[in-house]
Amino acid sequence: FLTFYLSRNISLCNADKQNKAGYTAIMLTALAAFHSDSDLHTVLQLLRTGDVNAKASQAGQTALMLAVSHGRGDMVRALLSCGAQVNIRDDDGSTALMCACEHGHVDIVRQLLSVPGCDATLTDNDGSTALSIALEASQNDIAVLLYAHLNFAKPPSPVSALLTHTEFFFFKERYLSNKMKSKLPLQHENPP
């Protein structure tokens, strides 16, 4: 019934008005599931009536970040088709790609990396990149994907894919070793 109502009255919706929690209709729609072509049509109509890049007032997340965090690949596609920008940052400096890495959504990471201009080198307010977030979250498949994306401009051959995994193993070991060293207390050469 809601889909029918919205499809008939979409022009009456103020898709950019925030509720008390700071979310717009578009942001809330990003969390919903659609099961039919008519649902998708209605969702696309709503997305086109407002600002798909608006930020929530509390944490600065966009509809794309919300869809990504909840693993809504279908909604990610819909938002991207309506102009959602992948490099927008929330209040913590995180991007949609970083959210996908943290939550382990490999297919969504692929989707985002396929968007021209998606910048996998951006850092959040803590200095973390999408790759370091994936490694810290033990999302190794995503980390390999990001490493390959960052280091290889053309599609890898089977031989270079094998090298990618080998290189990644050493990269990960260096990264984790450096991470552990930075957490250790400083050692003095001459103890008191």
The residue among 85, 103, 136 that closes a domain is 85
Pair of tokens at residue 184: 């250790």
Write down the pLDDT at residue 67. 95
Q: In whole angstroms, what is the distance from residue 129 CA to residue 104 CA? A: 15
Q: Domain limits at 50?
A: 1-85
Residues 102 and 59 in one domain: no
Grouping H, G, I as helix, E, B as strand and the rest as coil, residue 159 is helix
Residues 72 and 24 in one domain: yes
Express each pLDDT in 143-172 by its tens digit. Answer: 999 999 998 745 544 444 444 555 566 666
CATH number at 67 reads: 1.25.40.20
Nearest to 113 by CA among 128, 126, 95: 95
Domain assignment present for residue 25? The answer is yes
Torsion of CA 44, 39, 74, 136, to 10 degrees: 100
Residues 35 and 59 in one domain: yes
Write down the pLDDT at residue 29. 81
Average the pLDDT over 36-62 and give the result: 86
Q: Among 13-27, 124-138, 173-187, which stretch is predicted with the lowest mean pLDDT?
A: 173-187
Domain assignment present for residue 190? The answer is no
Domain assignment present for residue 189? The answer is no
Nearest to 62 by CA among 28, 104, 110: 28
